[in-house]
Amino acid sequence: MAIKGSDGSRAGKSSGRGQRDLKVRVKTAKGRKLSSKLWLERQLNDPYVARAKRDGYRGRAAYKILELDDKYRFLVPGARVVDLGCAPGGWCQVAVRRVNALGEKSGKSVGRVIGVDLQEVDPVPGAEIHVLDFLSDGADDQVKEWLGGRADVVMSDMAASSSGHKGTDHLRIVALVEAAAALAFDVLEPGGTFVAKVLAGGAESEMQSMLKRNFHKVANVKPPASRSDSSEKFVVATGFRGSDDSNGDLA
């Protein structure tokens, strides 16, 4: 089968260039771990990484929230959004554009985007970034104060630090999602949306039940931008029932 060269011309098999030339290869440098080499090679060959650079996003994760929003339409103009664990800021970038936080869409409502993280994050035009431990006492009140009210969307792409043990990491991220959901119960408007990353496992049944008690619809989705070899998926809970009749305790 003929393939196109870098200049667009067609080259047959006799050119001496094999399929290996179609991918970037990273030579293992002295002292570099094989896992690091494989990660770098994957990054260099990932179309979403290249696309993020072209589109000005801070990472490929931006396309995960883009694809989720394309399907469920929660980042609408005028929406008030809280991004938990927002570093490096790619999800905030997407939210700013979609909720019209900069007022660039004439005739559309202007939304707000609040990003919180344990560490300093480079400014994102149109978003307010704060250093905050969302697990701390009073974090929900602080978020509502920054927003000037309740949120329409609470989203999280957080993952707990890897321990190297798959089962332990799964339990950690489930606990993190449960904590994020607890904050969402306190700050969301009725009808609001909660979006969070989880890892496929088997320990999240209690979390799923908790979300189903508090939202009208709960979907579990693996967007195209999520790598096929990753166990991550995203829970999208829509139609928050409201704090008055919420059954959001974790017991």
- Give catalytic residues, as residue numbers: 197
79 torsion bin: left (phi>0), alpha (psi -120 to 50), beta (else): beta
Cis omega (within 30 of 0) for bond into 88 = yes
DSSP character at residue 161: P
Consult the annotation and say whether 146 binds a ligand: no
Distances (CA, A) of 231 to 168, 202, 245: 14, 12, 33
| Residue in the block written with tokens 């047959």 | 12
Consult the annotation and say whether 56 binds a ligand: no
Consult the annotation and say whether 229 binds a ligand: no
The whole-angstrom separation of Cα 202 and Cα 72 is: 25
Consult the annotation and say whether 137 binds a ligand: no
Contact (Cβ atoms closer than 8 angstroms) between residue 218 and residue 235: yes
Residues making up the annotated binding site are 89, 91, 117, 133, 157
Residues making up the annotated binding site for S-adenosyl-L-methionine are 89, 91, 117, 133, 157
